[in-house]
Amino acid sequence: ADEYQRIRRYFNDRGYVVDVFVYLRPRKRWLESQLQERVKLGARAFDLLPDELRTQLDYPGRLDVLDEMFGRERVTAVPFVPDAFPDGCVVRDFCRRAGVPVEPGRIRRVNDGLSMEAFKLLLAQRRFAGGYGTGLRAVVRNEVLIRRLTEVAGPPVRVHSRLVGHMAEEWRRQAPEIERDRKSTRLNSS
């Protein structure tokens, strides 16, 4: 809330009103994406939900804070469903919603997910072949490795539903809270 308040004040002091667009990814997919990102950045363990990320899955609580800081009428919650975005691009969807003109050719797509096979190779490298390393050279080598791994074809990274089953009931309980007073947007609660 403190960070959001600073952002609001910064823009308000300059005569701007902030509109907030929140893309709510289905939680299981979000967990799968976060796991990939942590391993890409050097994590060596298969930790699906580290303690520091638990609060990020409290979608109603996070939306309430945004509503309080910016006003409910300024916060738009959108389901993260790439198939529903123009050309599957969240940037184009955001620009359309925010009224920001952008030429599609100016959008550079980065950070697509790895295939399951590529992810397994990366996790093995992190665990058994020295991991990420340190310094600028390690950053460059990691970037090259990730780029090469994005070329490995296969199905996307998915974790078995049993690994998140203990969280599913809480997510179902939160669904009505997320949708309350957000009639213009249908949200997926999982």
Question: What is this structure's pTM?
Answer: 0.77
C-alpha span between 143 and 137 (Å, rounded): 10
Instruction: Supply the pLDDT for residue 186.
Output: 40
Q: Which band of pLDDT confidence, cut at 50, 70 and 90, is reported for residue 114?
A: very high
Which has more pLDDT, 89 or 188?
89
C-alpha span between 69 and 64 (Å, rounded): 9
Q: Which band of pLDDT confidence, cut at 50, 70 and 90, is reported for residue 130?
A: confident
C-alpha span between 178 and 57 (Å, rounded): 12
Structure tokens at 107: 């959008």
For residue 188, is pLDDT > 60?
no
Give me the phi and psi of 20, to 5 degrees please: -115, 130
Q: How many C-beta atoms lie closer than 10 Å to residue 39's C-beta?
A: 23
